[in-house]
Structures are given as structure tokens and as C-alpha cells.
Amino acid sequence: ETGVTQSPTHLIKTRGQQVTLRCSSQSGHNTVSWYQQALGQGPQFIFQYYREEENGRGNFPPRFSGLQFPNYSSELNVNALELDDSALYLCASSLKGTDGVEQYFGPGTRLTVT
């Protein structure tokens, strides 16, 4: 059973640029959630995808968007990067529709915006 993987590990972008982060969910999981974690803070929910549809969104602007693919992997896209977007981006997978609601997190992508 493979765990949640994310790519890239680290990324440096310039303000105004666009970035795409990728996540492969744990085998058998149909739900992916994305979180942003600023230094010293807890993770903040961005959105969740279930069977390729957005299934909930946190307080993030529309320039944060996502996709989920038929194999349940996912992408997080951020347009018009701002300095405050510098953070650790975490993806978590889970299996919706059962009693197992534990979310399994990947190691994260560290994004630095300069």
C-alpha cells in the first residue's frame, strides 16, 4: 500500500507567477483535501475533491483552484502568486463513504514566493 506522495518537494516562484502542485492519493482513497500551512500555524483547509468534483472549500480566493483525476490524484493550482502564499502545502487523502475518516497526509510541498 503506497502512501500519499506530493511533488515537487520544494519550489521557488516569483510574485505574479502561477504554480501547480501535485498529489497522489493513497491506494483505494477517493477523496483528496488540500491544506496550506504557514510557519508556526496549523494547516488551513483550502478545498476537498471527491470523485473529481469539488466537495467543500475554505476561505481561499478563486485564484486557488484544483483538479482531481479519474485515478484520484489531484492538482492544486495557484495563480498570481503573492508573497503571503509562501507556505507548506499539504494534501491528504481519505475514503469517503465509510466509517474510516482518517485523513492521510503527504509530506507537503514547500512553496517560497519571492
Partner 1 sequence: LAKTTQPISMDSYEGQEVNITCSHNNIATNDYITWYQQFPSQGPRFIIQGYKTKVTNEVASLFIPADRKSSTLSLPRVSLSDTAVYYCLVGDRGTALIFGKGTTLSVSS
Provide the binding-site residues for partner 1, judged by CB under 8 A. 4, 33, 35, 40-45, 48, 56, 58, 88, 90, 92, 94, 96, 99, 101-108, 110
Closest to partner 1 by CB, 17 vs 41, is 41
Minimum CB distance to partner 1, residue 90 (Å)? 5
Closest to partner 1 by CB, 38 vs 80, is 38
Integer Cα distance of 102 and 40 in angstroms: 23
Integer Cα distance of 86 and 90 in angstroms: 13
Minimum CB distance to partner 1, residue 85 (Å)? 18
Pairing of strands 19-24, 10-13: unpaired
Minimum CB distance to partner 1, residue 16 (Å)? 27
Minimum CB distance to partner 1, residue 89 (Å)? 10
Length of the chain: 114
Closest to partner 1 by CB, 108 vs 113, is 108
Closest to partner 1 by CB, 19 vs 89, is 89
Q: Which three cell numbers stand for residue 4?
A: 500519499
